[in-house]
């Protein structure tokens, strides 16, 4: 029976230590839970940030992909056009160039003949025009009066006659002019002498 009182205090001490342990364990558990919850919140915010970044990158990737698709489609269209040009337009252009070269060769062979013909036609045209001018001047000359033609031949150099005819007409005019001057001089001399003789005979009759 005596040992019972000694056992009771030991039991009381054991219960107190267990209570203290349980209290400290609960505090640590709460702290761990709070730490875990804060970490979980941090992880959740990081996950949200990562999700937003992934969403933005995905949208950017889709935009870049659409641009790349459009560029690829444009390249394919350009490649199709280039292939079509190589298969259709280039042979046609080559055929046209060959035809142009053949035409140029033909022109190079026929051009001298054409130039000579054009030169002949120009000479014929010039000679015909000159003949027409001469004919017009001849008609105008023939429509003039004889005195006008005679005056033009002797006193001008623009008359449409030969130089021989001009020389003959001028010689005839000179001979006629000299003859007329000589006759006039003789007539004037005779008249002067007759006038003097008349005066002399008049004086004799008066005396």
This prediction has a pTM of 0.36
Range in 7-11, 33-37, 147-151 with the lowest mean pLDDT: 7-11
Which residues does 144 contact at the CB level (< 8 Å), separation at least 6?
152
Confidence of residue 121 (pLDDT cuts 50, 70, 90): very high
* pLDDT score, position 54: 87
* pLDDT score, position 4: 43
* pLDDT score, position 183: 92
* pLDDT score, position 180: 93
Name the percent of the chain lying above pLDDT 90.
Answer: 9
**First vs last C-alpha separation in the chain:** 243
Q: Taking the CB of residue 159, how many other CB atoms lie within 10 A of it?
A: 20
Length of the chain: 207
Tell me the backbone φ, ψ of residue 157, rounded to 5 degrees. Answer: -110, 10
Report helix, strand or coil for 150.
helix
CA atoms within 13 A on the CB side of 145: 3
Instruction: DSSP for 106-122, please give it.
Output: HHHHHHHHHHHHHHHHH
Instruction: In whole angstroms, give the CA distance from residue 152 to residue 29.
Output: 150
Kindly state the average pLDDT of the residues 72-85.
87
pLDDT, tens digit, for every residue of 21-62? 566 676 877 787 888 888 888 888 888 888 888 888 888 888
Dihedral (CA of 62, 67, 72, 77) sign: positive
Confidence of residue 202 (pLDDT cuts 50, 70, 90): low
Kindly state the average pLDDT of the residues 150-165.
78
Return the domain boundaries, the chain.
Answer: 19-107, 147-207
């Amino acid at each position: 029976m005596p040992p019972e009182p000694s056992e009771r205090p030991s039991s009381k001490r054991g219960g107190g230590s267990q209570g203290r342990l349980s209290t400290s364990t609960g505090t640590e558990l709460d702290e761990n839970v709070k730490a875990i919850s804060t970490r979980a919140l941090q992880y959740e915010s990081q996950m949200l940030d990562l999700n937003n970044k992934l969403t933005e990158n995905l949208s950017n990737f889709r935009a870049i992909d659409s641009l790349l698709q459009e560029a690829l489609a444009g390249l394919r269209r350009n490649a199709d056009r280039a292939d079509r040009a190589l298969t259709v337009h280039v042979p046609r252009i080559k055929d046209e160039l060959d035809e142009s070269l053949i035409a140029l060769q033909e022109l190079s062979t026929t051009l001298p003949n054409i130039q000579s013909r054009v030169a002949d036609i120009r000479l014929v045209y010039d000679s015909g025009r000159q003949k027409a001018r001469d004919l017009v001047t001849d008609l105008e000359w023939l429509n003039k009066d004889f005195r006008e033609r005679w005056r033009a031949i002797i006193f001008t150099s623009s008359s449409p006659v030969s130089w021989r005819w001009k020389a003959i007409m001028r010689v005839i005019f000179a001979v006629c002019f000299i003859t007329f001057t000589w006759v006039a001089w003789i007539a004037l001399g005779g008249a002067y002498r007759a006038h003097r003789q008349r005066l002399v005979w008049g004086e004799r009759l008066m005396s």
